[in-house]
Structure 1
Amino acid sequence: MLRKPKADPEVVDRLTQVTEFDADIVTRIATVGTLVNIPGGWSIIMESTPADSAYIVLDGTVEIRKGGQRLASLGPGAVFGEIALVNHRLRNASVVASSPISAVRLGEEALRDLLEHDAGFADTMRSIAEARLGAQ
């Protein structure tokens, strides 16, 4: 008998503190996502590579870079890596941990499930992607 995965209570707590997602989507993210800890200075996403995941920052900061130029710095509650997944394209920027970070990693299948089953979450992800693409 397969066990249904449970939401990580630590992830639920941090997502509730740093995002404006409702309780149902927070629980779903904490169930399908994976908590990752990444050292400062590490490259998380490389420009012009295929997309396989998106991230929600819980603690720390990341720097978004395109062509080696710094575009933005994102902190707790920020989502990154979603543009390539939502728009089915190669990564349009690189992301480097400016400090040690903890984040929820949403693999392609998990993100697709969230987008298909929660219209509000899907609208939020599309709005973030459109805003970022418009700012570049």
Structure 2
Amino acid sequence: MASLMDVVTLPTGATLTTEGAYETQAFLLVEGSVAVSHDGDLLAVLGPGEVVGELAVLDRRRRRTASATALTPLTVCVMTPRDLDSLLRGFPEMAALVHGAAAAHQAPLAG
């Protein structure tokens, strides 16, 4: 799966997503941890195997609902909408994972 995406390393403090911005990338965390915040409140700390920013590749007209910042040095797979389409064609079982992550990440914002 990672062969479908670019793998990059990012330093501690790097911004992956910015709340309110229109961005079209998601990040699959390979190594490191990320703080996810909304309106300045910490929502979650995510680690390897988790996805950050999936709503941007699922709905490209939507603004980011949260900011994500590297707490440690990171290795991530960068996923674009085209990468997601290819991934879901090649690995249809991933659709449930991606949509499940999107639903789980939206839940804290609803309340």
Q: Common fold, TM-score beyond 0.5?
A: yes
* Structure 1 runs (4+) greater than 3 angstroms displaced: none
Higher Rg: 1
Structure with larger RCO (C-alpha < 8 A, sep 6+):
2
More strand, by proportion: 2
Using the aligned pairs only, state the percent identity. 29
Q: 1:117 to 1:51 in 2, by over 3 A?
A: farther
For the pair 1:77 / 2:45, whether they are aligned, the reply is no
The CA RMSD measured in Å over matched residues stands at 1.4
More helix, by proportion: 1
Q: What one-letter code is carried by the residue in structure 2 that aligns with 1:31?
A: S
Query: Shift in Å at residue 117 of structure 1?
Result: 4.3
Aligned residue for 1:111? 84
List per-residue Cα deviations over 1:38-97 (Å, max 9, x = no partner).
000111111111132111111110000111111110011111110222133111001000
| Alpha-carbon distance in structure 1 between the residues aligned to 2:9 and 2:90 | 27
TM-score (norm 1): 0.73
| Alpha-carbon distance in structure 2 between the residues aligned to 1:115 and 1:46 | 26
Q: Which runs of 5+ in 1 are unaligned?
A: 1-28
2:23 aligned counterpart, secondary structure: coil
2:82 aligned counterpart, secondary structure: helix
Q: What one-letter code is carried by the residue in structure 2 that aligns with 1:132?
A: H
